[in-house]
A and B are shown apart, each in its own frame.
Chain A
């Protein structure tokens, strides 16, 4: 019925959520009109305080997107400005408007670029379409936050989440946390990269990687996007291996690009691929995790473990983290901020480990100062690899803020 379709061009589109227990989000309903400018109907928890500010923002966003006449109906549950902008833009784009334009929130100064081998003990997952968790995520001081566009976002909301994450990268202060984004598998991930890369995230997590070629595709997309907007600072990569084939190709994947900072493993998908259940002991994934550790070390990149899903079980998490560190992992994911402190504790060197390492480093420094090639501690000779390991332990402990002053010899303790 072409005639009916013709009269129906004033299509109503929607974005975001409101009602029920929704907080810090909003529902936008958008309808382009032929004339009469922009009409706004606003219901907001904060109308008495920010009603005028919100109306002005609606007009500004529509102007940026080239929309002149429209009806915008908003039910707002106290969303912050970066969320309001993203939801309006999503509704407008769903109407087929505003293409090749965008309404970007004012950008905070970019934090310093991240180092390839920086600490990545804890990476806090933030569902990409749930803005209420964004604003305070950095306060919990994880080593990184992951704005997730993949599994935590419903297929129908991928476009909206992408805009929300883009705005968050500009407008939200994540503190000292490294700003990571988990994109979708290609080709959907290409659209993610187009929005995300211009905001200079520190690291992109690539899901379900099985071949080195998949990494190259992502590198290509990042490079062209970064070049277009003039971003020269590094955007690191962390492929996630989540299948038997991915595990088999671990070394090839880990060496697919010099942008790779680490590789990690997704245990839910991996055990599903094997057709086995996940157990608390994790026997079913032991080989895969060891394989990841070995491939990562062979490739000189970080090995990062999966998440521990039982958020209420702090003791289980501590045991898992300690075992994970003992296997050679440098960090893991976390699902709730209360896991962060426990994870940091489990990946810190133990007191006796640190004490030993400090003694060896002191002996090494002493030998260096005296021009001696052989390091010895008491009557024992220390092998070079042991010295190397001790140096690494002390360097990491310093990064973690653990005291690395060598303790006074016993007898002189205060």
Chain B
């Protein structure tokens, strides 16, 4: 234990960050370094059930969500979980919480795999006392509510892998899991890739289905048994509820997202692709991870062209799937898509019909307390960040003003890739992205290898192999200090540090459940801060 006591209830962890020793009445382990914490003991397990208590004909339908919650013996203080595959079109999570509130439940903990702007009304439930606090990503209005210290408990931000780890290790006990399912049968088998509200993978709900005391499947496409494929096994499910609509299809998946035309984003994307090519990472049978953000899409487009020119094929790609990855799969440029989240209609069609396009879960891809995971097997991961510091530490959860802005998503888990590249503009509007010290540490610099900006590419000095690999190549390789100094000159000096109060509002967990950093209450209103559209 390298932690030392600083003030009552706060310790300095191995990353040098001040973190609380107790979070929501539960004792915490401060961050011990990337590999420092080795857990012992056994995994958590749900209670043993008996077939005698379930209908022998397999029909677990109940008339509505309220009945299901009553049969789940809903009580004050329970933890209710939901998944975010329906993204900003989700109607189920909010309905479940509102129904529980109407039934008189108090002090619930909401444990979503991520929240979206459509979940803003949860603020009302927190004000009324029905919901005590949220353990999961918060942004937009929910992020502001928490950032201003208005939430009763502490927010707990986890990566997708960290959420699995927390459930599996018994740090979070889910009393009732409410799983929105685009297709299901009466036994509770459920699938995400078919139905009018199809969302592709249902991976984020898998842990909930396996470890929760009670599991409710809510669907708007009840099919006759068996529902195949069954991403969620009915053997884990207590009740099935049929509703008219689980969400707004237009907001669940998007049409094809056009590749950005922003010259600066295109330049960053092209630099990342050239870096992979010229460093030799792009070679036959390699693998990579990319998301669905503006830079990531354009990067995939550039990389596909370079792979074609060099006659190189990737063995597999992990990530949020889009038309662009599906096109590569169909052209034979990649062997398999290991899909954690399905973003557009082309990708939903592909996952439903192409056996090389596979739904994965945080267990297979991300969980750190297992016997390995896919994310660390990937040769290169291209990610974003809100801030990066000169020690390559990065922030994805707060804005430079300290407000909660994004969830962690799979970001922390992807840092274990062979080469982690953060593709970021060097400044946004006038706000430098490269700073002396990140506002909130979300990832330790030792795992972050490359920062690619429009003004050049900085390689972590720990990665001498990468520095050697690109020597003599036509790439703008610079030190991170050089890029930072140039940007500060353009922006008119170092930015002032916004004031934060000595009052924690949330913590950031590392992938092993230890506490990496604290999110502090913001002191000043920032009414003109950039708007956020929400997301993980």
Q: Is the CB of A336 within 8 A of B528?
A: no
Report the stretch among B57-65, B168-176, B200-208, B486-494 that lies at the interface: B486-494
Whether a CB of chain A sits under 8 angstroms from the CB of B264 is yes
Partner of A50, one of B401, B454, B495: B495
Query: Which residue of the partner chain, among A45, A80, A337, contacts B267 with CB atoms under 8 Å?
Result: A337
Contact of B492 among A45, A81, A135, A311 (CB under 8 A): A81
A48 partner, pick from B455, B492, B496, beta carbons under 8 A: B496
The reply on A23 being an interface residue by CB < 8 A is: yes
Instruction: Compute how far the CA of A136 lies from the CA of B490 in the bound complex, rounded to whole angstroms.
Output: 11
What's the A-B contact tally at a CB cutoff of 8 Å? 73
- B403, chain A: closest CB distance, angstroms: 10
Chain B residues lying within 8 Å of A338, measured Cβ to Cβ, are: 261, 263, 266
Known: A50-B492, A50-B496, A139-B267. A45 touches B454 (CB 8 A): no
Q: Which A residue's beta carbon lies closest to that of B486? A: A173
A53 CB–B CB distance under 8 Å: yes
Contacts from B to A (Cβ < 8 Å): 261, 263-264, 266-267, 400-401, 428-431, 454-455, 490-493, 495-496, 498, 524, 526-530
Q: For residue B530, which residues in chain A have a CB less than 8 angstroms away from its CB? A: 45
Q: Which residue in chain B gives the minimum CB-CB distance to A78?
A: B429
Complex contact B490–A49 (CB within 8 A): no
Interface residues of A (CB under 8 A from B): 23-24, 43-53, 57, 77-81, 133, 135-136, 139-140, 311, 336-338
B267 contacts A140, CB within 8 Å?
yes
Contact A45 B529 (CB under 8 A): yes
Ranked nearest first, the 10 interchain pairs of A and B with the lowest CB-CB distance are: A78-B429, A49-B495, A337-B263, A78-B430, A48-B498, A81-B492, A46-B430, A45-B528, A136-B264, A48-B401
In the complex, what residues of B have CB within 8 A of residue A49's CB? 400, 430-431, 495-496, 498
Q: How far is the CB of A317 from chain B (nearest CB, A)?
A: 15
**List of B residues within 8 angstroms of A57 by Cβ:** 492
Q: Which residues of A contact B498 (CB under 8 A)?
A: 48-49
Do B431 and A78 touch across chains, with their CB atoms under 8 A apart?
A: yes
Q: How far is the CB of B307 from chain A (nearest CB, A)?
A: 18
* Complex A-B: 25 CB contacts under 8 Å: A24-B429, A24-B430, A44-B528, A45-B528, A46-B429, A46-B431, A47-B526, A49-B430, A49-B431, A49-B498, A50-B430, A50-B491, A50-B493, A52-B496, A53-B493, A78-B430, A78-B431, A80-B491, A80-B492, A81-B492, A136-B267, A136-B454, A140-B267, A336-B263, A337-B267
CB distance from B522 to the nearest CB of A (A): 10
Q: Are B263's CB and A53's CB within 8 A?
A: no
Q: With both chains docked as a complex, state the minimum distance between the C-beta of B177 and any C-beta of chain A, in angstroms.
A: 40
A residues near B266, Cβ cutoff 8 Å: 337-338
- Complex Cα–Cα for A136 and B429 (A): 12
**Chain A CB within 10 A, most for which of B400, B429, B454, B490:** B429
Complex CA gap A336/B264 in Å reads 11
Residues from chain A with Cβ under 8 Å of B492 in the complex: 50, 53, 57, 80-81
Partner of B429, one of A45, A52, A81, A336: A45
Report Cα–Cα, A44/B529, bound state, in Å: 8
